A and B are shown apart, each in its own frame.
Chain A
């Protein structure tokens, strides 16, 4: 201590001034972190609009001034909303209401995410970039919604609206030189007003009912038609079987007849008699017979006695 103090005492005023100057000059060294960019101004005028991460030097205060920004950090903003007021425990319905093209009122809550794209513009061109982003997105959203029907906004065109709003709001913000980049515009919720919510739900359930009824009918059709096809096929197969049967039977009968006829013609009289007698042999045993003389008359009472009505 004493040695240093002694050394200090030996310094001249000039040396002290030089040391102070050196320290002042060295204070101009600054570090831009990996997620940052910086803007360097000389007496208020921008000299380096975009200083990339790394170690840099600028003339110290009050000559140059360095402002660092976290450019990659996404900033979040809610437009519209029905955000419950946590302090007072109430919501603000008017803030979330949008008017659709067919003059329906809907509640929307849109979340915007953006980051800094041009640091110098972001810092120096607008007083309140966040409010500007919110206003631009809200205006474009209102414009899209007022040109569409409530059904389109609630369902089919939600994604399209988001993308259109993002692109259009970005274009406006570029015109304003806000220096921000919108990364997403997300319609987080879009609902009909509570006063008409049940009617909207009924439409949804009607749609579901329709789908159910239709699929039931399709089930009926899917059951009926294959069965009918099967039945038709069955009818065809049966008729084909009938045709084959008839044809084959006819062929068989004809072949048999031809065979017999061929033999018959060789000995017509004898064969005829034989066939007749054979038939009689088959037929007569199972029937009752009454044999009468050639000229005799028959007393039919015999039949009645032999064949009482009860036995018939």
Chain B
């Protein structure tokens, strides 16, 4: 080395240190896995975030370790009872084993294609052992959709991890629908059902109204007849009481009663239209005809 370059030695040394440092240290973020390869051959996987060291001749490959969501296109499936249903899923997955992933799959698009196949075949197999009313139905103890999906998730996870180094976190049904060609008949059925319900409501309303009216009429009759019964009873008491009073009073002097009552009756019976033919021998006219002596 020439003397005249000696003064550049420290600078050159520093540059070499920086370059070696740059090649030897690498930061791993929380969102990443790093696969360290040596001339293309994977030597180790770094899963802990932070600062790491490698040989300068080794290469760091970065993989996104975050949870990803994959939405396969809605597909039509056949249930055990031969009914068609359109299901839209979502699949949550992440890279678990970068080494296997890079060898078997490569990138996310390829991973999604593989996941599509696993999930699709898993789901059609699962639905083939379930009736439609265990997926879509109002009877809670018949519905098994959740446990079916749990099994499907476990199955998919096992297959994906083994083959592709992928961890399938969850497979869920986002949307269930009926095939387009069935929808018109579904709408027709819905309409018929609504019409039935509307008719039923109207008839039930009529029923309720009639029974309310009839009940009111019945209550009215009941009230009035009860009142009649009580009223007649009370009147009867009045009549009985007055009869008793009369009887008591008159029985003390029946002869006088008869006489007095007869006189009373004359007053009422004999009116302007009566013509009386009086005998001169009568009590009233005896004196008139025969003089004072007849009065005795």
Question: How far apart sit A199 and B197, CA to CA, in the bound complex (Å)?
Answer: 10
Cross-chain contact A127 with B275 (CB below 8 angstroms): no
When the two chains form the complex, which single residue of A139, A221, A292 contacts B279, counting CB atoms closer than 8 Å?
A292
Q: Indicate if B228 sits at the interface (CB-CB under 8 A).
A: yes
Residues in B neighbouring A218, C-beta threshold 8 A: 212
Asked if A216 meets B209 with Cβ closer than 8 Å, knowing A135-B174, A228-B224, A277-B284, the reply is: yes
Q: Indicate if A276 sits at the interface (CB-CB under 8 A).
A: yes
Which of B24-32, B110-118, B119-127 lies at the interface with chain A?
A: B24-32
Q: Indicate if B71 sits at the interface (CB-CB under 8 A).
A: yes
Question: How far apart sit A125 and B169, CA to CA, in the bound complex (Å)?
Answer: 12
Q: Indicate if A105 sits at the interface (CB-CB under 8 A).
A: yes
Question: How far apart sit A132 and B189, CA to CA, in the bound complex (Å)?
Answer: 35
0/1 string, B219-249, CB within 8 A of A gives 1: 1100110111011111101110111111011
Residues in A neighbouring B71, C-beta threshold 8 A: 135
0/1 string, A127-158, CB within 8 A of B gives 1: 11001100110110011001111100000000
Cross-chain contact A236 with B230 (CB below 8 angstroms): yes
Q: Indicate if B187 sits at the interface (CB-CB under 8 A).
A: yes
Asked if A235 meets B169 with Cβ closer than 8 Å, knowing A120-B30, A132-B67, A292-B279, the reply is: no
Cross-chain contact A210 with B201 (CB below 8 angstroms): yes
Cβ-closest chain A residue relative to B279: A294
Q: Indicate if B215 sits at the interface (CB-CB under 8 A).
A: yes
Cross-chain contact A254 with B69 (CB below 8 angstroms): no
Question: How far apart sit A97 and B137, CA to CA, in the bound complex (Å)?
Answer: 17
Q: Indicate if A305 sits at the interface (CB-CB under 8 A).
A: no
Which of A5-13, A18-26, A81-89, A188-196 lies at the interface with chain B?
A: A188-196
Cross-chain contact A228 with B177 (CB below 8 angstroms): no
Asked if A105 meets B190 with Cβ closer than 8 Å, knowing A253-B249, A303-B275, the reply is: yes
Which of A51-59, A110-118, A240-248 lies at the interface with chain B?
A: A240-248
When the two chains form the complex, which single residue of A42, A135, A207, A210 contacts B69, counting CB atoms closer than 8 Å?
A135
Which of B11-19, B44-52, B99-107, B159-167 lies at the interface with chain A?
A: B44-52
User: Which of A120, A148, A294 is the most central at the interface, judged by chain B CB atoms within 10 Å of its CB?
Assistant: A294
Residues in B neighbouring A98, C-beta threshold 8 A: 175-177
Which of A27-35, A68-76, A159-167, A255-263 lies at the interface with chain B?
A: A255-263
Cross-chain contact A46 with B138 (CB below 8 angstroms): no
Cross-chain contact B280 with A294 (CB below 8 angstroms): yes
Asked if A139 meets B50 with Cβ closer than 8 Å, knowing A228-B223, A242-B234, A280-B284, the reply is: no
Q: Indicate if B82 sits at the interface (CB-CB under 8 A).
A: no
The SS class assigned to the A binding surface is: helix
Residues in B neighbouring A228, C-beta threshold 8 A: 219-220, 223-224
Q: Indicate if A99 sits at the interface (CB-CB under 8 A).
A: yes
Cross-chain contact B220 with A225 (CB below 8 angstroms): yes
Asked if A103 meets B186 with Cβ closer than 8 Å, knowing A203-B194, A210-B201, A217-B210, the reply is: yes
- Tell me, rounded to whole Å, the shortest Cβ–Cβ distance linking B18 to chain A: 13
Q: Indicate if B206 sits at the interface (CB-CB under 8 A).
A: yes
Asked if A176 meets B169 with Cβ closer than 8 Å, knowing A247-B245, A254-B246, the reply is: yes
- Tell me, rounded to whole Å, the shortest Cβ–Cβ distance linking A260 to chain B: 7
Cross-chain contact A224 with B217 (CB below 8 angstroms): yes
Cross-chain contact A46 with B30 (CB below 8 angstroms): yes
Cross-chain contact B50 with A220 (CB below 8 angstroms): no
Cross-chain contact B219 with A243 (CB below 8 angstroms): no
Residues in B neighbouring A231, C-beta threshold 8 A: 223-224, 227
When the two chains form the complex, which single residue of B206, B224, B249, B277 contacts A213, counting CB atoms closer than 8 Å?
B206
Question: How far apart sit A195 and B205, CA to CA, in the bound complex (Å)?
Answer: 27
Q: Indicate if A172 sits at the interface (CB-CB under 8 A).
A: yes
Question: How far apart sit A9 and B236, CA to CA, in the bound complex (Å)?
Answer: 138
Residues in A neighbouring B237, C-beta threshold 8 A: 243
Asked if A103 meets B136 with Cβ closer than 8 Å, knowing A98-B175, A239-B231, the reply is: yes
11 A-B contacts, Cβ less than 8 Å apart?
A: A41-B49, A101-B138, A105-B190, A125-B67, A126-B67, A135-B71, A143-B173, A206-B205, A225-B223, A239-B230, A287-B272
- Give the 7 A-B CB pairs with smallest separation, nearest first: A210-B205, A243-B238, A232-B227, A250-B242, A254-B249, A239-B231, A221-B216
- Having A239-B230, A258-B249, one finds 7 other A-B pairs with CB under 8 Å, namely A128-B69, A176-B67, A196-B187, A213-B206, A217-B212, A242-B235, A257-B257
